[in-house]
Amino acid sequence: MGRLEDIIARNQRPNRPRERLVVSLSFGAIVLLILGLTVFTSLGLPPGSPRADQAAPAPAAPPRAHPGRHLHGVLLRAPTPR
């Protein structure tokens, strides 16, 4: 009967749900850490690509081809008369 009592005692451990909770929380923390690193660092960029803060400056605006007014690079014109 000793073996049967040992098997029953092993299967009725009260700390088993706590073990699963600790394992799942630690796994979730690792996943969140990896996601945070990819978002807030250059870990998510492919090798050789420039970082956003080291990117080349934007090219100068081309000369205006239209006599109309521009606002943020958008040509503003009056509607054509019909």
For residue 3, being part of any structural domain is answered with yes
User: How many Cα atoms within 13 Å fall on the side-chain side of residue 82?
Assistant: 0
Q: What is the mean pLDDT of the chain?
A: 75
Q: Which domain holds residue 30?
A: 1-44
Q: Would the CA dihedral through 24, 29, 34, 35 be positive or negative?
A: positive
Asked whether residue 14 carries a pLDDT value surpassing 60, the answer given is yes
- Token pair listed for 74: 């958008």
For residue 40, being part of any structural domain is answered with yes
For residue 56, being part of any structural domain is answered with no
For residue 69, being part of any structural domain is answered with no
For residue 57, being part of any structural domain is answered with no
- The whole-angstrom separation of Cα 34 and Cα 18 is 24
Confidence band of 67 (pLDDT split at 50, 70, 90): low
Per-residue confidence (pLDDT) for residue 56, from 0 to 100: 60
For residue 70, being part of any structural domain is answered with no
Domain count, the chain: 1
44-63 pLDDT, tens digit per residue, is 677 777 665 565 666 666 65
Asked whether residue 2 carries a pLDDT value surpassing 70, the answer given is yes
Q: Where are the beta strands (DSSP E) in the chain?
A: 69-71, 74-76
Per-residue confidence (pLDDT) for residue 51, from 0 to 100: 64
